[in-house]
Amino acid sequence: QKEVEQNSGPLSVPEGAIASLNCTYSDRGSQSFFWYRQYSGKSPELIMFIYSNGDKEDGRFTAQLNKASQYVSLLIRDSQPSDSATYLCAVNQENNFNKFYFGSGTKLNVKP
């Protein structure tokens, strides 16, 4: 079983819609959760991180964490074509905080 799982997509949404990206993880003791955006041929760029159960909002982005269900999601409101990229979920574990486990990423296409 992979430590972090994401649907590879592609996820297609129309411009202006809400894009919902999901991630599940296997280590119940995981403490910190990160979302990165990666454009094709570029490096991962940090979007948000979340440590506590519930929602965390930053502009058009909302991260949601449910530790009981071992589930973290990223919502992108008012999606723009420039949001089209691969979104990577990363988790670090209770006993190895500085080691991140990455999902394989979900490719998002926002259609004009």
Interface residues toward other proteins, by CB under 8 A: 31-32, 34, 36, 42-46, 49, 51, 88, 90, 92, 96-105
Nearer to other proteins, 19 or 50 (CB): 50
Min dist CB 11 to other proteins, Å, is 15
CA distance readout (Å), 40 to 19, 37, 79: 19, 10, 18
Count of other CB atoms within 10 angstroms of residue 42 = 10
Nearer to other proteins, 14 or 54 (CB): 54
Min dist CB 81 to other proteins, Å, is 21
Tell me the residue ranges of DSSP E strands in the chain: 4-5, 11-14, 19-25, 32-38, 45-50, 54-58, 61-66, 71-76, 85-93, 96-102, 106-111
Nearer to other proteins, 80 or 96 (CB): 96
Min dist CB 16 to other proteins, Å, is 28
Nearer to other proteins, 40 or 82 (CB): 40
Query: What residue spans of the chain are helical by DSSP H?
Result: none
